Amino acid sequence: MRLVFLGPPGVGKGTQAEGLALQLEILHISTGAILRDALGRGTTTGLEAKKFMDAGDLVPDAVVLKLVEDRFAEQDAASGWLLDGYPRNLEQGAALDGLLSILQLTLDHVVFFECDSAELVRRLGGRRVCRKCGNTFHIEFAPPPPQGHCSQGGECEIYQRSDDSEDAILKRLDVYQRETGPLVEHFRSQGRLIVVDGGQSIDQVGVDLRGALGLPT
């Protein structure tokens, strides 16, 4: 199975992608997570991406395409993957088409999670992440553990992503409308878009997602 997840920042793509990839036993490829990891390790790519990410801008297409190409080339990508956060504009969509045609692969589904902006701002502004294990919390709906221990038991370091600051959130939503909006319409006009209401609870979005893909819940 090869899938693409599209949707605005904060819609819950990453959470749904993680669960579905596990269920389907395919690779979850999040370009945002790869970039944050590169940044954390201080690699050239990470340092190059930092200023774009901090400002809520898109990292240059060529940089992200290379990350995806490299990830596809690894052995664990052979049984399928779920792309979360890529492609994000029409140019990346065309680049992905080109890459898939070289690899003689096709996409099975493109899923679009929709949600209104007020809810996205509420979700992103309250989001907190554990730097060590990647767990995501929300100060209102799923507060981080007070003692700094995640459910996985280890010592945690809860932080707010720099691109979850108020200014960066508004910028990211604006970038999403301008850059990703046309890509969504492109897939919609091709009749390839599966639309899921991302404004619901995590569990309900999961149920709708699996229903739309014809999978067991």
Active site residue 172: yes
| DSSP string for residues in 98-137 | HHHHHHT----EEEEEE--HHHHHHHHHTEEEETTT--EE
Give the SS3 label for residue 178.
helix
Q: Which of 16, 31, 45, 180 binds ligand AMP (CB under 6 A)?
A: 31
Least distance between ligand AMP and beta carbon 100 (Å): 15
Q: Which of 5, 72, 81, 86 binds ligand AMP (CB under 6 A)?
A: 86
Whole-Å CA distances, 14 to 76, 148, 186: 19, 23, 22
The residue sitting closest to ligand AMP, measured at its beta carbon, is 32
CA distance 29 to 73: 12
State how far the Cα of 24 lies from the Cα of 82, in Å rounded to an integer.
10
Interface with ligand AMP includes 52 (CB under 6 A)?
Answer: yes
Q: Among 96, 151, 100, 112, which Cα is nearest to 11's?
A: 112
Among 21-29, 86-94, 121-129, 203-211, which window interacts with ligand AMP (CB under 6 A)?
A: 86-94
Q: 58: Cβ–Cβ under 8 A, 6 or more apart, which residues? A: 52, 64, 88, 89, 175, 179
Set 2, 13, 36, 123: catalytic member? 13
> Is there a catalytic annotation at residue 210?
no
- Farthest-apart Cα atoms in the chain, separation: 50
Q: Which of 160, 155, 128 is nearest to 144 (CA)?
A: 128
Q: Which residue in 88, 128, 131, 171 is the catalytic one? A: 88
By CB under 6 A, tell whether 184 contacts ligand AMP.
Answer: no
One of 7, 8, 12, 56 touching ligand AMP (CB under 6 A):
56
Any contact of residue 172 with ligand AMP (CB under 6 A)?
yes
Query: Least distance to ligand AMP from the beta carbon of 96, Å?
Result: 10
122 lines the binding site for ligand AMP (CB under 6 A)? no
For residue 179, give the nearest of 63, 97, 57, 45 by alpha carbon.
57
CB of 34 to ligand AMP, least distance (A): 8
Among the listed residues 29, 64, 96, 156, the single contact to ligand AMP using CB under 6 A: 64
Please list, in sequence order, all residues whose beta carbon lies within 8 angstroms of the beta carbon of residue 105, skipping any fewer than 6 positions away. 2
144 is an interface residue for ligand AMP by CB under 6 A: no
- Footprint of ligand AMP (CB under 6 A): 9, 31-32, 35, 52-53, 56-59, 64, 85-86, 88, 92, 163, 172
Active site residues: 13, 88, 127, 161, 172
